[in-house]
Amino acid sequence: MRRLTPSFKERVWGSTKLEPYFPNSERKIGEIWFEGIPDPRLLIKFLFTTEKLSVQVHPDDAYARRHHDSFGKTEMWYVLAAEPGAQIAAGFRETITPERLREASLSGEIESLLQWHTALPGDTFYIPAGTVHAIGAGLTICEIQQHSDVTYRLYDYGRPRELHLERAVEVSQLGPVSALPRLTRTGQEEILVASPYFTTSRLRISNSESYILPTTNAPLLILIEGSGLFGGHSTKAGDVWYLEDEESEILFSGSATFLRVSHQSSIDASETHE
C-alpha cells in the first residue's frame, strides 16, 4: 500500500483555506490532484471554490479520442463541505435546441437555463460525459473522474478565457439529467455511484481497534473524515491510498469515513459511449 502524492494547482476561483484536509496556502488553490495511480484511466481530485467555475461540458470517449487522442470524461462529485446556499448545476431544466444553447452561452442566459441543486455535505452528484454542468462557490469537493482534462467552456462569467462553443454544442445533452444517484447498501458500505468507469462506495468505521478492510476490486481509498492507523501507517482526512494487488485485506484502527473506488478494469470504456 502507498499514500498518493498531492499536487497543488492554483486556480482563479480557488481558496487559500484548505484545512482540515491540507495546510492553508498563501496561493488560491483550486484543485489538488493525486498522482501515481497505476491505472492511468482514473484521477482523484479535491476541489476548493470561492467563486463559480465556468459552465462547461466534457466529451465522451469516442469524441475525445477522435479529436484529442484522449479519454473522455465522466466524473462524480462528493461534497465534503458547503457554505450556506452553495449550489451545483447539472443539465437543463427543460430541453433546449443547439441554437438556443449557443445563444444563451454568449448572452449569459445559460445560468438560468441550468438545473441548480443545493449542495450539502455528504451529497453525491454524478456527471456523465455530455452533461452541461457548473460548480458554485463555497464548496469543498472530492472528485473522482476519468483521467482526462478535455473541457469545453460554454460560459465563464466574463473571465478572459477561451470558450469552445462549437465543440461544446456538438457533445452536450440538451435536456434534464438525473445527477443525484440513488444510494444502495451492501453490508456496511453504501454504493454512491456505479458507472462503466468506476464504482465508488462510502464506508464508515467507528472506534475500531482492528477493522479488517477487504481490498479486492477497490484499490483506491480516500479518507474524507476522521483519522487512525491504516496498515500500520497513521492517516487522516485528505489522504488517498493505493492498495497493491497482492494485498487482499488491510487492518484499520480508529474512527473514519472512507470512499472506496474501484476501477472497472474488465470494461473497455472506449466502447461504452460510441
What is the β-pairing status of strands 75-82 and 139-146? antiparallel
What grid cell was written down for 129? 460525459
What grid cell was written down for 27? 496561493
Q: How far apart are CA 9 and CA 31, in angstroms?
A: 5
Please identify which of the residues 11, 93, 153, 202 carries the catalytic annotation. 153
Q: If phi over 0 gives left and psi between -120 and 50 gives alpha, with beta otherwise, what is residue 271?
A: alpha
Q: Give the N- to C-terminal CA distance of the chain in Å, as an integer.
A: 36
CA atoms within 13 A on the CB side of 159: 16
Please provide the size of the chain in residues: 274
SS3 170: helix
**Contact present, 129 and 196 (Cβ < 8 Å):** no
The yes-or-no answer on residue 3 being catalytic is: no
Q: How far apart are CA 167 and CA 58, in angstroms?
A: 10
Peptide bond into 20 cis (omega under 30): yes
Task: Give catalytic residues, as residue numbers.
Answer: 153
